[in-house]
């Protein structure tokens, strides 16, 4: 027997759990490669513009900064690395990994070389590495990417290199580069001098910032197991709404503010009226979003409640099904006894002897009535709570499981504190919890083992010393490893592949918490001290 500190469910069986669906890998890879293809197209068009002297291709917006040839080369290299990173499994993964690393290394060398030129305030010959181009109006050296562009390209290159070895740092680099690119785009859209006039942002070309932002999204899509893309890639109702809300909170404020700004610039409205339009429109849009989200959450909670009630009822019926063999055994024994007693009564020679046999038969029938009444209580939908003695409910659960206890050859030790107190509960639901815990303990305990059931008055110090009754179910079974123990209360998690449905302990936890109580578990797999302990705390009436 362990030191009353450990959990249930056989540890030698591989656990299984139903996982949430994700957006198919093909769609994710397709998105990432499409974005990478767009960026490579932008880079090729820019290089073509410089080679053929087509200003529209080098500077999408007239009189604004141009995308330098080195910038186009850096974006193309990072896009190639990201393209290869989208899927590293399957045939040819070795050369795809080598290509991705090689392209990222070249991109990092080009961008860090540019940063070194800025730091040393001299040219190392990188500016004219691809094409010789004139200086632009922002004063950067001819052919040299801006400081902000070089920094973003360096971050993107590092993200591609670290994607396998340090995913967290890779995501951090992607988000940082994306934030810089987004700042440059916002500064351009709103012609914000203080923002767009920052020295290392002012000469980031519009299509350069767009390419950097697209590569950040593609890089995040290449690692769907990391946040923030992990939650957004789930195919659930919540994540579906999150994707739409993300679009709303990022694009709507820009669109709402852009229209009044243009009207102000064209002289249609004055400054005060433009600000009023922005405030009123944003307030209305955000209120609408919150209202729709609140309605959707309400409906989702309603559906969740309905599903939970159905699962609880199905688990209740499953408990009765598992008890059926034990109940049949318990009913058959008194029936055989009554049959024998009736035969003896018929052949009795004296009235006193017949009366004695009849009284014995009556006690056997009363025992049958108790068993059937307790079984039927599982089917009754009694929603009214009443004052209950937890020890009595535990004892009734042991009575229903007496056949299983006898078959398992496990010694049951009862320790009930007198006048431990009463709790407010539905006795049928609480009995279901204890049957589940005791049944699990019996299945995990080998023949000759021990099962200890204890009830006593206690306090829950995690809840400021709330008084109540604590029920402990401890066994000397095989125990559970930590990987199983932390998941035992999750729905559909089970180690009983053939007979379990993974709902028993989840339903038990839900029922206990609805009563204002708590359920905790400890477990050990240490040889000679293995076993599991479940502790249920229920507050006193009025607590």
* 448 within domain boundaries: no
* 29 within domain boundaries: yes
- The mean predicted confidence, pLDDT, of the chain is 78
Measure the CA–CA gap between 272 and 276, rounded to whole angstroms.
6
Name the pairing type of β-strands 466-475 and 450-460.
antiparallel
Confidence (pLDDT) at 387: 85
Number of domains in the chain: 1
Confidence (pLDDT) at 140: 63
* 202 within domain boundaries: yes
Is 542 in a helix, a strand, or coil?
A: coil
Q: Which two tokens stand for residue 482?
A: 């930590």
Question: Is the separation of the CB atoms in 261 and 190 below 8 Å?
Answer: yes
* 265 within domain boundaries: no
Phi (first) and psi of residue 412, to 5 degrees: -105, 125
Confidence (pLDDT) at 17: 35
DSSP string, 296-341: HHHHHHHHHHHHHHHHHHHHHHHHHHHHHHHHHHHHHHHHHHHHHH
Confidence (pLDDT) at 3: 47
Phi (first) and psi of residue 125, to 5 degrees: 90, 5
Low-confidence ranges of the chain (pLDDT < 70): 1-27, 61-63, 87-90, 135-140, 191-203, 224-250, 312-313, 315-330, 332-333, 371, 374-384, 497-502, 543
Task: Give the neighbor-by-neighbor strand order of the sheet with 466-475.
Answer: 411-416, 450-460, 466-475, 531-539, 518-524
| Domain, as residue range, for 144 | 25-233
Question: Is the separation of the CB atoms in 5 and 533 below 8 Å?
Answer: yes
Instruction: Encode pLDDT of 98-132 as tens digits.
Output: 999 999 999 999 999 999 998 998 888 888 888 88
Confidence (pLDDT) at 316: 63
* 266 within domain boundaries: no
* 51 within domain boundaries: yes
Measure the CA–CA gap between 411 and 476, rounded to whole angstroms.
10
* 343 within domain boundaries: no
* 458 within domain boundaries: no
* 358-359-361-366 Cα dihedral, nearest 10 degrees: 140
Identify the sign of the CA torsion 162, 164, 168, 172: positive
Confidence (pLDDT) at 136: 64
């Amino acid at each position: 027997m362990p030191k009353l500190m450990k959990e249930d469910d056989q540890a030698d069986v591989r656990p299984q759990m139903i996982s949430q669906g994700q957006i198919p890998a093909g769609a994710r890879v397709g998105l990432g490669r499409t974005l990478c293809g767009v960026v490579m197209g932008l880079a090729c068009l820019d290089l073509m513009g410089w080679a053929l002297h087509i200003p529209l291709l080098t500077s999408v917006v007239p009189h604004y900064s141009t995308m330098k040839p080195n910038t186009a080369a850096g974006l193309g290299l990072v896009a190639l690395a990201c393209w290869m990173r989208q899927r590293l499994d399957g045939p040819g993964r070795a050369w795809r990994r080598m290509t991705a690393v090689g392209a990222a290394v070249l991109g990092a060398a080009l961008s860090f070389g540019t940063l070194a030129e800025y730091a040393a305030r001299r040219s190392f010959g990188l500016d004219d590495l691809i094409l010789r181009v004139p200086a632009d109006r922002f004063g950067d050296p001819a052919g040299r990417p801006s400081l902000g562009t070089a920094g973003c390209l360096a971050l993107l290159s590092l993200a591609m290199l670290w994607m396998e070895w340090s995913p967290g740092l890779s995501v951090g680099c992607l988000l940082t580069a994306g934030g810089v690119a987004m700042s440059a785009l916002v500064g351009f859209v709103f012609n914000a001098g203080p923002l767009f006039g920052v020295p290392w942002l002012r000469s980031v070309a519009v299509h350069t910032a767009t390419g950097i932002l697209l590569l950040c999204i593609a890089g995040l899509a290449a690692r769907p197991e990391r946040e923030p893309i992990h939650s957004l890639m789930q195919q659930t109702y919540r994540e579906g709404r999150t994707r739409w809300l993300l679009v709303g909170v990022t694009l709507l404020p820009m669109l709402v503010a852009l229209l009044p700004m243009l009207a102000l610039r064209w002289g249609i409205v004055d400054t005060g009226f433009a600000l009023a339009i922005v405030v009123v429109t944003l307030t209305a849009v955000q209120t609408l979003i919150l209202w729709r989200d609140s309605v959707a959450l309400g409906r989702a909670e309603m559906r969740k409640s309905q599903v939970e009630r159905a699962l609880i009822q199905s688990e209740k019926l499953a408990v009765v099904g598992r008890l059926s063999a034990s109940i049949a055994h318990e009913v058959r024994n008194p029936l055989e006894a009554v049959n024998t007693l009736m035969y003896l009564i018929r052949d009795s020679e004296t009235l006193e002897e017949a009366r004695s046999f009849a009284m014995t038969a009556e006690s056997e029938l009363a025992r049958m009535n108790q068993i059937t009444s307790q079984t039927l209580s599982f089917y009754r939908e009694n929603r009214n709570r009443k004052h209950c003695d937890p020890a009595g409910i535990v004892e009734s659960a042991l009575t229903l499981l007496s056949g299983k206890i006898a078959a398992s050859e496990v010694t049951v030790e009862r320790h009930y504190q007198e006048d431990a107190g009463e709790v407010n509960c539905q006795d049928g639901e609480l009995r279901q919890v204890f049957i589940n815990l005791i049944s699990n303990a019996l299945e995990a305990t080998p023949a000759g083992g021990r099962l200890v059931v204890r009830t006593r008055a206690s306090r829950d110090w995690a809840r400021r010393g709330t008084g109540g009754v604590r029920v402990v179910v401890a066994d000397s079974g095989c125990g559970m490893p930590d990987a199983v123990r932390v998941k035992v209360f999750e729905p559909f998690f089970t180690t009983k592949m053939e007979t379990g449905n993974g709902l028993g302990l989840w339903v038990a936890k839900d029922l206990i918490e609805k009563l204002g109580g708590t359920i905790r578990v400890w477990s050990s797999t240490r040889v000679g001290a293995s076993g599991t302990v479940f502790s249920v705390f229920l507050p006193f009436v009025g607590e």
